[in-house]
Amino acid sequence: MGLIPDVPPPGPARAGFWRSPVRSAWLTTIIGSLLLLCIVIVSVTGFLSHAAYQPDLGRNDLIPRDLDLQLFVISWPTSPSWLYALTQGSHVTFGFVMVPLLLFKLWSVIPKLFWPLPTSPAKALEKLANLLLVGSAFFQVLTGLTNAQLYYPWHFNFVVAHYYGAWIFVASVVLHVAVKFPTMREARRTRNEVLGMAGDELRSPNPGPTTISRRGVLGLLGATTGAVFLTTVGQSAGGPFRQIALFAPRGRGEVGPGRFPVNKTAKVARITPEMVGDGWRLKLTGPGGRAVELTRADLLAMEQRTYDLPIACVEGWSSTQTWTGVRLADLAALVGATSPRTMRVVSLQPRGAFKQTTIGRAQVAADESLLALKVGGEDLPLDHGYPARVIVPALPGVHCTKWVETMVFA
């Protein structure tokens, strides 16, 4: 390796340039472990969200079905009803919380970024793998947190990029943990913080004056993640937390008609009053081609059920409301569909990715699955899907189709 000088040029490439006396393998292990926990939560809930969209049904596949690595497509349950509110609320909240964890983690290892050129093929590969790791970490966090804040500054398919970017990230994290595991184990075993771990590359050989202790750094990290958590979580958790969710798009007071959030207004969906007036009919089609048309009065004359169910958005917010309407299973029975395999729902909205959707057997059969006509004891507001919308326990909000026009049971 004669090409590489023994002594790096003055500046950040020299270990002594970095003088923070708190950097050490021990500190990085603690921060890294916390970050890893956060990554596990965000990854698992992310892949679960992919399953919750039931991409195996109808035209639900936002990522074309023939593409690889769509591994966790399970039949999505309807119980507990708050399942998607929990998983997706966690995905978004912990995705936000990951930002300070990632920044602190990178701060703790930053001298290594500048350290001399790799001295062996193994070190060169590690540098490349670290680029994939850090690149995909920022890619996932930045695309996720902008998307959850209704900001779309890119020119690519978000769902495809965020899904496959997640696989790059997960693969890089697994490799990184495998490579660093011995160091982590040894650093954690190091009881004696003063002497530290032998050969600790993160410890400055030229430490500056101590201005903060390691506990201080961890305390600051805790306070920062806590601040992000507390100003976000209320849009999912509700209750008193909603009042302090100052920065979440659907936090404090950012509610719509019916006093709970809307994700797409009737105006934007191009729903006009004429479309939902007296001329509106619900068109049902059964497996044998049997068809029935119902007015809103017909629907109100049927047996009404009332349930408290959360509506939960992929953007992380959720809200539990009291819904009243007709059971989907009762509507299926009207057209001779007993235990239908799927139900395709088409909205009045002229276009949009979620103009139509398909739900599965469990969703149609569940007792709490409704074609809702009322919410909170009053007629659905137009923005919430008047004259009728689907509400199914544990189903992502965008699949709870609003302004329903047609339901096809198969």
Partner 1 sequence: MTRFRTLYGKHPLHLVGHIAVIAVTAYLLSIMFQARFAPQPLNLALWLLGGAVLHDAVFLPIYGVVNTLLSRGVGAGDGTPLKDLAMGPAESAVDTETVAAGADDDVAANLVSASRPSRDAERAVPVINHIRTPLVISGVLFVVFLPRILERQPQNFVNALGHEPPDFLARWFFVTGLLVAASALLYAVRRLRA
Report the distance separating Cα 75 and Cα 91, nearest Å.
Answer: 20
Among 8, 77, 116, 207, contact with partner 1 (rule: CB under 8 A): 207
For residues 394 and 360, give the distance between their C-alpha atoms in angstroms, rounded to a whole number: 13
Cβ-contact 318, 365 below 8 angstroms = no
Can you tell me which of 40, 71, 74, 128 binds partner 1, judged by CB under 8 A?
128
Binding mask 237-276 for partner 1 (x = CB under 8 A): ---------xx-xx-xxx-xx---xxxxx-xx--------
User: Nearer Cβ to partner 1, position 46 or 261?
Assistant: 261
**With binding defined as CB under 8 A, does residue 220 bind partner 1?**
yes
Applying CB under 8 A, what is the total number of residues that bind partner 1? 99
Q: Show the site string, 106-125: x = touches partner 1 by CB under 8 A, - = not.
A: xx--x--x-----xxxxx-x
Residue numbers 27-66 binding partner 1 by CB under 8 A: none
Burial class (CB in 10 A: 0-12, 13-18, 19+), 44: middle
Which residues are CB-neighbours of 261 under 8 A, at least 6 positions away? Answer: 250, 254, 255, 313, 317, 319
Interface residues for partner 1 in 134-153 (CB under 8 A)?
134-139, 141-143, 145-146, 149-153
Helices and strands (H, E) in the chain, number of each type: 10, 10
Q: Give the residue with the Cβ less far from partner 1, 254 or 308.
A: 254
**Cα–Cα distance, 298 to 373 (Å, whole number):** 11
Q: Is 46 exposed, middle or buried (0-12, 13-18, 19+ CB in 10 A)?
A: buried
Residues 143-202 close enough to bind partner 1 by CB under 8 A: 143, 145-146, 149-157, 160-161, 164-165, 167-168, 171-172, 174-175, 178-179, 193-196, 198-200
From 91, 105, 203, 344, residue interacting with partner 1 (rule: CB under 8 A): 203
Closer to partner 1 at the Cβ: 4 or 125? 125
